[in-house]
Amino acid sequence: MQAVLDFADNFSRDASPDDLFIEILLRSKLRLDTTYALENLASGGTVYVTDHNELVAYVDSSNITIEQAKEILAKSPKKFVVIDAAFNGQDDLKINIANMCKESGISEFKTI
C-alpha cells in the first residue's frame, strides 16, 4: 500500500514551486531558457506563464478551484499543466477542468 501512496505523491516534499516548474518545462519538452513570468491570479494563487501563453503551469499546493481554472483558460494557453496534489484527490474537479479545457480549445491539459 505504501508503494502506491509513494507513487501518487510524485514530487519531493522539499521541491519549491520553481523546481516544479522546471520539471514541467522538461516534461513538456520546452527549453530551460524559456522566458516566463509568475502571475498572481485575481481568484487567488499563482501560475507560471511562458511567452505567448505556450504553457501555463499551476504548481500551487493549495487546491485549484473552478474560478482559478476559468481565469487561467481566459489566457488561452496552448498547454495547461497542474500538479496532481492541487486536486487533493477530487477526481470530479479534475474531470471538470479537463472538460473546460476541451471546450476552450486547449490543445493539451496534463496533471503531473
**Among residues 56, 65, 63, which one has the least CA distance to residue 21?**
56
What was the pLDDT predicted at 100? Answer: 97
User: How far is residue 38's CA from residue 87's CA, in Å, rounded to a whole number?
Assistant: 21
pLDDT tens per residue across all 112 residues of the chain: 343 344 445 556 678 999 999 999 999 999 999 999 999 999 999 999 999 999 999 998 789 999 999 999 999 999 999 999 999 999 999 999 999 999 999 989 999 8
Q: Which residue type is seen at 59? A: V
User: How far is residue 11's CA from residue 8's CA, in Å, rounded to a whole number?
Assistant: 9
Q: What global pTM score does this model have? A: 0.85
Structural domain spans, the chain: 2-111
What was the pLDDT predicted at 11? Answer: 58
What was the pLDDT predicted at 66? Answer: 96
